[in-house]
Copies of this chain bind each other. A is one copy, B any other.
């Protein structure tokens, strides 16, 4: 495509962005117009992508981090014929694939964007896959806005990309000077971005983002740069091409007032149809696949579930080549180090950067890998927005939070994950697993690999006795009845993780008082085993939940939801962490919070007495 054609293509992208927003009555045409020249050059001259085969292993990746500029992306899809004009005009309408911000409902979109500052971290994950695992020459392009450079997650990614010499990664910053509510911090000072990125070890190129030839040379320079990722810093003007809005405040996120006039000013509708370059042939190495030989633990042995996690993951990695692991500089605590030692080529150290940790996992799964990403449960809250967006991205990732709950003991509240179940339960389509023993952990680790969506495994710091045999099965959505006395049971105690062992102790004590109770190990907090809970409710009429978590959003809420189906409900009560813990031994912590065996005994007695004498 010659220079004239390129200019016409850029005009068309602007026109189509304006038309789409006009049809929708909302959207961000001005943010699209600033980047239209960048998009045109990339699409016509550099991107290698088979739009008929979005799963082609050699396809370059394009992440529109400034997801609000979706009209530009959709205009690019129309230019290659992937989307037709009728569909373009369904933008933002009910049922349309062309959502306000891109999602993988479109086959050419790998990840959802729209929460700013996430595109580059996810792109880093894709670039790591290309370089270290696929060993394919595809490039990853991330187009981001200048406003989002204020997000810390961008700088986690900047650091990570340079440290890993990701020369297959190109960041294009559309420096259009204007954020949503006014000027950005650095406006058109490209040097401000250049100095920062260069200091982190990036190759940088400053260009006039409306000079098609300069932009073209910049992309070429990025492709020929080795050992360093490249940032193209493009000075642009928001609303470029329409004088009424160009480089002016107050026109963010609004259709243009007079679309017909704007189209005329932009030079009309060129009607261009182009083909992107074809990706190179070549396939990625075939991953091994065998049945994993999971570790087997003897009944009664004292094993921390975090240890079982590490051992099971290493075994799973031996059986399945697509399994990868990531950790945020605490692999000696989470035990991800067991995997790292067994499979160093598939282990990714993310240092203390939890947003990058999750984003890298999301990026890796777009390339078919099955990532397990671990850190302390408490610190996964750092990546909540990335987890939320992973669900919108329809990403399949395994998250592992160790050191759950107050049971960690002396380190105190900053290290205690007591909100993690609430966070993961609220993620759309998630699975939440919380084992109490080593064999159970091993089975869950293997089983979660093949689930969909965001899967969470909550592991514990301290040792706990092995109570299940190594051949027992633990499907997601199941539970285990650990104590039951048929119709004699007078209450049901529902526990998970560390509280299962407290519940078993309590059941023994209660038996001495002549109060038989049923004990349910609710290892699958979401989905929850409604059948078993309903059955227990039918027999005992009352249930007590006990959890090492705040009372909101965890096991108590999960069980209550089962009985929120319009039918008469059993009597419920819950024990949970309601205090602000300090430092203390694990046993003292459980006692202080009132979630130990003694507290369970007291609560069950109260519950049972109420049946007898309401």
Contacts and interface: CB of A to CB of B under 8 A. Distances in A.
B556 A553 contact: no
Nearest to A394: B580
Contacts of A226: none
A389 interface: yes
B414 A67 contact: yes
B385 A382 contact: yes
A286 interface: no
Interface in A515-571: 526, 542, 545, 550-554, 556-558, 560-561, 563-571
B150 A151 contact: no
Nearest to A153: B152
Nearest to A157: B152
A33 interface: no
A401 to B, nearest CB: 12
A563 B561 CA distance: 11
A22 interface: no
A395 to B, nearest CB: 12
Given A94-B592, A99-B583, A426-B550, A159 B185 contact: yes
B94 A552 contact: no
Interface string A349-390: 001111110000000000000000000001101101100110
Contacts of A554: 426
Interface stretch (A47-55, A111-119, A129-137, A499-507): A111-119
Contact of A96 (B384, B388, B573, B582): B582
A584 B425 CA distance: 26
A278 interface: no
A411 B98 CA distance: 11
B583 A572 contact: no
Interface string A410-448: 111111001100110111110000000000000000000
A607 interface: yes
Contacts of A382: 115, 151, 384-385
Given A100-B583, A151-B152, A610 B567 contact: yes
A305 to B, nearest CB: 19
A56 interface: no
A485 interface: no
B553 A180 contact: no
A414 B551 contact: no
B94 A583 contact: yes
A392 interface: yes
Among A331, A382, A569, max chain B CB count under 10 A is at A382
Interface stretch (A79-87, A193-201, A469-477): A193-201
Contact of A569 (B67, B353, B572): B572
A558 B561 CA distance: 10
A561 B329 CA distance: 37
Given A560-B561, A571-B568, A381 B378 contact: no
A154 interface: yes
Contacts of A311: none
A151 B159 CA distance: 10
Contacts of A415: 100-101, 114-115
A557 B568 contact: no
A241 interface: no
Contacts of A333: 180-181
B329 A179 contact: yes
A343 interface: no
Contact of A151 (B156, B179, B181, B592): B156
Given A198-B199, A557-B561, 19 more contacts: A91-B583, A94-B584, A96-B583, A100-B410, A114-B412, A114-B415, A115-B415, A117-B352, A179-B351, A181-B331, A181-B337, A428-B550, A553-B553, A556-B564, A557-B560, A560-B560, A560-B564, A565-B573, A569-B572
Q: Which 5 A-B pairs have the closest CB atoms?
A: A152-B152, A114-B414, A560-B560, A199-B199, A422-B426
12 contacts: A95-B582, A100-B415, A150-B159, A151-B152, A151-B352, A152-B154, A179-B329, A181-B332, A418-B426, A557-B557, A566-B606, A569-B572
